[in-house]
């Protein structure tokens, strides 16, 4: 079988980590046909828009894409090209895997947390009212009339939206992921004690969905308590499911627990479409220097292989990456004890080392 995949290199360090990832994916022996697409500044230059229809059409056709990070130019009119892409394709679940690997410097051991973040609404609904606008004045009047609450006239307002439909589908996604991947527990994170209606709806919906999954334990935890428990005893968590805004920073917190952005893979998934991409951004400070760590994007490639049903190849590629990290020789400077260590290798050499491991007979492997 040949998989047709939309390949978006992105910009900044994107093309470097994307090419390294393409090479290791091909070395697994799985057959790919790559459909190259551009978004972001390159698309702006070529097509006059940051998010061209040709890229969207390619993803809709192929249903699966792998993507490098994309810079959002300041003052572009887009809040973020990435957010716009997820919204247009209704990729409602942001999935981040945060796992400690031997060889990555972190005080934590045995962390293996899956973060499932709602991607489409919450505080990032994109509905905002500017200070001093006529719409804001109308809104403040409506609030005063219906609740008796007087909001100061010099306010700006951002809406936090939680629907039953979006809450239900994200919690179902978390439970389905848990069931299909041998996970034992789902924890819904919220502030329903304060936000009684929006987070209350999220929590009640999570409780309702949990009843459909008797084989998986369900708990809920307040956001503030979760932050403290993640730092104190992260190994107690398995799958976390969160509304959009909380999911944004809890997924970065979890990436920090396991050693940072260089090893944090991710995916944005909808009903029948998915884009796999590293958590990190375009890292303009090190772009074009062959210094970017490609592991996060390679591990996103592992997630893509699992999504495609190629579990054997996914396991082999993950093992090869884990062995390279554990040996600590062919790794980029961010994975060295001393970031100035001159033995650090470049992005493409990491790919060479992973490919060498992949092609090595199991008996000769070290880790």
| Interface residue list for ligand NAD (CB under 6 A) | 13, 17, 69-72, 80, 82, 261-262, 277, 280-286, 292-293, 296, 334
Would you call 224 a catalytic residue per the annotation? yes
Dmax (CA) of the chain: 74
Strand-strand pairing, 31-36 and 2-8: parallel
Helix, strand, or coil (residue 150): coil
CA atoms within a 13 Å half-sphere pointing along the CA-CB vector of 222: 9
Instruction: Give first-to-last CA distance, the chain, whole Å.
Output: 31
In the complex with ligand NAD, the residue whose CB is nearer, 22 or 280, is 280
- The dihedrals phi and psi of 9, each to the nearest 5 degrees, come to -65, -30
Six-digit token pair at 167? 């809450």
Q: Which lies closer to ligand NAD via its Cβ, residue 76 or residue 163?
A: 76
Of residues 315, 317, 307, 311, the one with CA closest to residue 91: 307
Contact 120, 92 (CB under 8 A): yes
Nearer to ligand NAD, 280 or 306 (CB): 280
What is the C-alpha to C-alpha distance for residues 118 and 102, in angstroms, rounded to an integer? 30
DSSP 8-state assignment for residue 90: T
The nearest distance, CB 279 to ligand NAD, in angstroms, is 7
Please state, as a whole number, how many other Cβ atoms lie within 10 Å of the Cβ of residue 346.
18
Cα(190)–Cα(237) distance, integer angstroms: 15
Of 224, 315, 329, 341, which is the active-site residue? 224
Nearer to ligand NAD, 96 or 190 (CB): 96
124 is known as an active-site residue: yes
248 is catalytic: yes
Place of tokens 């990032």: 124
Q: Which of 191, 213, 238, 307 is catalytic?
A: 191
Backbone phi, then psi, for 288, in 5-degree steps?
75, 10
Q: Which is nearer to ligand NAD, 226 or 282 (CB)?
A: 282
CB 255 within 8 A of CB 261: yes
Three-state DSSP class for residue 8: strand
Length of the chain: 367
Question: Are 100 and 237 in contact, with CB atoms under 8 Å apart?
Answer: no
Contact assessment for residue 81 and residue 39, using Cβ atoms and an 8 Å cutoff: yes
Q: In the bound complex, what is the minimum distance in angstroms from residue 21's beta carbon to ligand NAD? A: 11
**Closest CB to ligand NAD among 277 and 310?**
277
Q: Which residue lies nearer to ligand NAD by CB, 2 or 74? A: 74
- Rounded Cα distance between 37 and 87, Å, is 18
Q: Which residue is nearest to ligand NAD (CB)?
A: 281
Active site residues: 124, 191, 224, 248
């Amino acid at each position: 079988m040949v998989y047709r995949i939309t390949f978006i290199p992105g910009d900044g360090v994107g093309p470097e980590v994307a090419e390294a990832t393409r090479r290791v994916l091909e070395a697994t022996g799985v057959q790919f046909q790559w459909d190259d697409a551009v978004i972001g500044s390159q698309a702006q230059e070529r097509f006059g828009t940051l998010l061209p229809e040709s890229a969207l059409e390619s993803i809709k056709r192929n249903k699966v894409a792998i993507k490098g990070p994309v810079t959002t130019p300041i003052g572009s009119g887009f809040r973020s090209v990435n957010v716009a892409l997820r919204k247009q394709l209704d990729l409602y679940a942001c999935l981040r895997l945060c796992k400690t690997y031997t060889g990555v410097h972190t005080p934590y051991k045995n962390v293996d947390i899956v973060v499932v973040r709602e991607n489409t609404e919450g505080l990032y609904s994109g509905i905002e009212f500017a200070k001093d606008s006529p719409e804001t004045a109308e809104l403040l009047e409506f609030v005063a009339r219906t609740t008796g609450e007087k909001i100061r006239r010099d306010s700006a307002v951002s809406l936090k939206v939680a629907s039953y439909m979006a809450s239900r589908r994200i919690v179902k996604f978390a439970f389905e992921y848990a069931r299909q991947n041998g996970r034992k527990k789902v924890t819904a994170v919220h502030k329903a004690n304060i936000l009684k209606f929006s987070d209350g709806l999220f929590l009640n919906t999570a409780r309702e969905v949990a009843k459909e999954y008797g084989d998986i334990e369900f708990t809920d935890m307040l956001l503030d308590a979760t932050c403290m428990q993640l730092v104190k005893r992260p190994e107690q968590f398995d799958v976390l499911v969160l509304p959009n805004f909380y999911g944004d920073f809890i997924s970065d917190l979890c990436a920090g627990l396991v050693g940072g952005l260089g090893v944090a893979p991710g995916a944005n998934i909808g009903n029948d479409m998915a884009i796999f991409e590293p958590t990190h951004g375009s890292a303009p400070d090190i772009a074009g220097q062959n210094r970017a760590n490609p592991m996060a994007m390679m591990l996103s490639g592992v997630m893509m292989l699992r999504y495609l049903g190629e579990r054997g190849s996914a396991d082999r590629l993950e093992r090869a990456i884990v062995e390279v990290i554990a040996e600590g020789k062919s790794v980029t400077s961010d994975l060295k004890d001393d970031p100035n260590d001159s033995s650090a290798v470049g992005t493409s050499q990491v790919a060479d080392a992973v490919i060498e491991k992949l092609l090595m007979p199991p008996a000769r492997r070290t880790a």
